[in-house]
Structure 1
Amino acid sequence: MEIIYRSVDSLDWITLVIFCSLLLLTLSKYLFKGMFSNFIILPFNNKYVTLYNKKGKLFNWFHLLLTVFQLVNFSLFIFLSKNTLSSEGFGSYPVVFFAALGILIGYLLVKMGIQMANGFVFDANELVTGLIFNKLSYFNYSSCIAFLANIILTYILKDSKPVVYISIFCIFFVNGIGLVNALRNHQKLISINIFYFILYLCALEIAPLVLIGSYLND
């Protein structure tokens, strides 16, 4: 009698990541229906930022859930985009995804720490907290675009460069709307703290985006 080996397929970790992302989004909607209703129309109506910028600001559960959702989906989007755009992709190794996730988490924590410290030094805590909340809110919203792109790149149009480029454009467009709204809402404070704001844009906003874009194209 010959022994027959049966191969068992390993768990599709990308499916697990997407499922967990969907769970986070569903949980956010279920627990915070009012906030979610205002959040979902954020690029078309800045009501969410106006209402909740003063209510708990950065450390409310709805904002934290969506920030986790953002970090997970941007990490997966970077992984899939690199596989699509580069001839030397990562294959299907999840360790690269977790490395990207760790880097994004570390970057976010360090960046927020530097921003808070600068706000304290320049006596601009109100400006800094408002900008962080505004920026994170729009990043959280744009991560919904990354979430949809991840689904399409995984199950529908695998390795589709147009999907990657269109998604990147939409992500930049949504965050561009957020930047314009932030300038409009904080124009008085920005005019007073124009030196800090220029440093903030160059060192903590523009430079990281340039580095990520260069990395994806290499």
Structure 2
Amino acid sequence: MQALEKNLIDSSWITIILVGLIALIVVLKIIDSERLKAYVFALFNKGFIESEVEEDTSFFNAFYSTLFLFSTTTLALVIYTFLIDQNLLLETSFSSFLYIFVTVVSYFLVKWILEMLLSRLFLIKNTVRFYFVSKFSYFYSISFLLFVLFVITTYSPLNSSFLFYASAVLFFMRLIFHITNNKNLIFSQLFYFILYICAFEIAPLFILFKLML
């Protein structure tokens, strides 16, 4: 069997971050083990998302803040590895990862704040609440799978391309589930949905990658 070529990255600090992510999962389990389990499988459980919408829990409580930190850190690690693999980073170090992490966290926070403000401004908070909750729930759900994929590719002979293709599949699945479960809202307001995608999805992603590079 021919060995796969693999870009080697100094993983000493990455290992520390992964241990920290495992600690965050333990914290989530201590806070609410049932909700943690539900979020792991949220991609396939529309009923759980509906219950989350009805409960209307604050984003800033301990569970959701920890979950947000876990998910954004995991995504930042995947992006960091991708940029290294494509030789798009001038320096491969913890400081480079930290910059990516701060950029990713800022992106999600600013995007979330703007979405909440606009939904309140146009008095459509209740109408689009399921849309926003499902979007974040699916992201949280696939972040656990991204974490497992990242660990496997980091500490195995698998090429980094496996991580990137698998991540692309997961995000595509998230998109499909998100559109399917919000099809009534999306297709009834298709013009505004396209404007939303351009303003809040495509443009911010372009700015995000510009900032990281």
- Whether these two folds match at TM > 0.5 is yes
Give the distance between the partners of 2:120 and 2:54, measured in 1 at CA.
18
- Pick closer, same or farther for the CA change 1:65–1:174 going to 2, 3 Å: same
Q: Percent identity?
A: 25
Count of matched residue positions in the alignment of Structure 1 and Structure 2: 203
1:7 maps to what in 2? none
Q: Return the offset for 1:196.
A: 4.0
- Inter-CA distance 124–214: structure 2 relative to 1 (3 Å threshold): same
Q: CA–CA distance in 2 between the matches of 1:154 and 1:11?
A: 8
Please give the residue correspondences for 1:102-117 in structure 2 after superposition, counting only pairs within 5 Å. Answer: 102-117=102-117
Change (3 A) 1:215 1:121: closer
Runs (5+) with no aligned partner, structure 2: 1-9
Contact 1:67-1:140 within 8 A present in 2 as well: yes
Q: Which has the larger radius of gyration?
A: 1
Residue of structure 2 equivalent to 1:135: 135
After superposition, what is the alpha-carbon deviation per residue over 1:139-173, rounded to whole angstroms, capped at 9, x for unaligned?
A: 11111122122212321136521332122222321
What RMSD, in angstroms, separates the aligned Cα atoms of the two structures? 3.0
Partners in 2 of 1:190 and 1:125 — Cα distance? 18
Structure 1: where are the runs of 5+ without partners?
1-9
CA pair 154-97 structure 1, distance change in 2 beyond 3 A = same
Q: TM-score, normalised by structure 2?
A: 0.80
Match of 1:75 in 2: 76
TM-score computed with the length of structure 1 as normaliser: 0.79
Give the letter aligned to residue 81 of structure 1. Answer: F
Secondary structure in 2 matching 1:57: coil
Whether contact under 8 Å (1:73, 1:146) holds in the other structure is yes
Deviation at 1:203, TM superposition (A): 1.5
Contact persistence 1:116–1:128 (CA under 8 A): no
Secondary structure of 2:102's aligned partner: helix
1:119 pairs with 2:119: yes
Between the aligned partners of 2:202 and 2:101, the Cα distance in structure 1 is: 20
CA distance in 2, matches of 1:215, 1:103: 7
Report the residue type matching 1:199 in the other structure: L
